[in-house]
C-alpha cells in the first residue's frame, strides 16, 4: 500500500528529522514543505519584494520553480542549490511572514498536492494534515517544549557555522509560533484525527520508533 503520511508541528520540534527517517524506512518520497517556503522567502529577499505589494508578490511568484535534488533532497530554487542559504537566520526570521501571505500559499499548496498525488509520501509542515492532505492515511502532530527546541535549533545553526545567541533563537521560535498559529490562511493547528508525539524527552531512536509504531498500527487497521 502506498500511504500518504502528514506530519505537522512547531519549528525545531524534530518533525523534519522524523519525516525523513520514516520516508527512508518505508522507501517513500520525503517532501520538506518548510524548505519550499524558505525558498520562496529567499527568492523574495533577493528581489526585494514588499509583502504589502500584492502586484510585486504576484510577479515574484510567476515562473518560480521549486524542487529537490533526488536522493539528497537538497533545496533547488530555479535550478540553484540553495539548501545552505535557506537555513540562515536571515531566512528563518522572515519565512513565517512570507508563509502567511495568501498568494504564496495558493501558489505552493497545489504544488505540494501534485507532489503527493500518488501516495507513498511523507510530507511535513504546518498545514499538511489540515489543508494539503486532509485525507492523509496517517497524521502526526509533533511538539516539544521551548527549551528543547531552542537547544536543537541552536545546535543546527552552530554546526552550520552560524553563531546566533540562545536568546535570539528562542525569540525567533516564539515569533514564528505566533505568526504560524494566528495567520488567517491555513494556520498551524492540530488536525482532529492527528496523533500527538511530544518530542521533549525522547532520544532520536525512540522518537523515530514512535513514529514507525504508528505506521505499524496503520498497517494493522488497513489489513
**Taking residues 141-145, what's their average pLDDT?**
97
> Is residue 23 annotated as involved in ligand binding?
no
Pairing of strands 138-143, 195-198: parallel
Range picked from 86-90, 102-106, 157-161 for highest mean pLDDT = 102-106
CB distance 148 to 142 below 8 Å: no
pLDDT digits (tens, 9 = 90+) for 53-76: 999 999 999 989 999 998 888 999
What residue spans define the domains of the chain? 4-218
CB distance 190 to 141 below 8 Å: yes
pLDDT at 223: 60
Three-state secondary-structure class, residue 134: coil
Q: Percentage of residues in the chain with pLDDT exceeding 90? A: 90
Across the beta sheet with 121-125, the strand order is 29-32, 121-125, 4-9, 138-143, 195-198
pLDDT at 219: 82
Q: How many CA atoms lie within 13 A of 192 on its CB side?
A: 2
> Is residue 203 annotated as involved in ligand binding?
no
Q: Percentage of residues in the chain with pLDDT exceeding 70? A: 99
pLDDT digits (tens, 9 = 90+) for 6-43: 999 999 999 999 999 999 999 999 999 999 999 999 99
User: For residue 145, is pLDDT > 80?
Assistant: yes
> Is residue 12 annotated as involved in ligand binding?
yes
**Taking residues 122-131, what's their average pLDDT?**
96
Checking phi first, is residue 140 left (phi over 0); if not, alpha (psi -120 to 50) or beta?
beta
Q: What are phi and psi of 193, to 5 degrees?
A: -105, 15
Pairing of strands 121-125, 4-9: parallel
> Is residue 209 annotated as involved in ligand binding?
no
User: For residue 222, is pLDDT > 90?
Assistant: no
User: For residue 188, is pLDDT > 90?
Assistant: yes
> Is residue 15 annotated as involved in ligand binding?
yes
Secondary structure E strands in 53-166: 66-68, 75-77, 80-81, 121-125, 138-143
> Is residue 150 annotated as involved in ligand binding?
no
Q: Indicate the average pLDDT of the chain.
A: 94
pTM: 0.90
- Rounded CA separation 90/36 (Å): 16
- Check if CATH label 3.40.50.300 holds for domain 4-218: yes
How open is the CA angle 129-131-134, to the nearest 5 degrees? 50
> Is residue 11 annotated as involved in ligand binding?
yes
Amino acid at each position: 500500500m502506498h500511504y500518504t503520511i502528514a506530519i505537522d508541528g512547531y519549528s525545531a520540534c524534530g518533525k523534519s528529522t522524523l519525516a525523513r527517517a520514516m520516508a527512508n524506512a518505508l522507501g517513500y518520497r520525503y517532501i520538506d514543505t518548510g524548505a519550499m517556503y524558505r525558498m520562496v522567502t529567499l527568492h523574495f529577499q533577493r528581489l526585494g519584494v514588499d509583502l504589502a505589494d500584492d502586484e510585486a508578490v504576484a510577479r515574484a511568484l510567476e515562473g518560480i520553480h521549486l524542487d529537490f535534488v533526488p536522493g539528497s533532497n537538497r533545496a533547488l530554487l530555479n535550478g540553484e542549490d540553495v539548501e545552505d542559504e535557506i537555513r540562515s537566520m536571515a531566512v528563518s526570521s522572515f519565512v513565517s511572514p512570507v508563509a502567511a501571505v495568501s498568494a504564496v500559499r495558493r501558489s505552493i499548496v497545489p504544488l505540494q498536492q501534485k507532489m503527493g498525488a500518488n501516495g507513498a509520501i511523507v510530507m511535513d509542515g504546518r498545514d499538511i494534515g489540515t489543508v494539503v492532505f486532509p485525507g492523509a492515511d496517517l497524521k502526526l502532530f509533533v511538539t516539544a517544549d521551548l527549551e528543547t527546541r531552542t537547544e536543537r535549533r541552536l545546535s543546527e545553526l552552530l554546526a552550520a557555522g552560524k553563531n546566533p545567541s540562545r536568546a535570539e533563537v528562542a525569540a525567533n521560535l516564539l515569533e514564528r509560533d505566533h505568526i504560524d498559529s494566528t495567520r488567517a490562511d491555513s494556520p498551524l493547528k492540530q488536525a482532529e484525527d492527528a496523533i500527538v508525539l511530544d518530542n521533549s524527552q525522547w532520544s532520536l531512536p525512540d522518537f523515530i520508533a514512535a513514529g514507525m509504531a504508528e505506521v505499524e498500527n496503520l498497517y494493522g487497521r488497513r489489513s
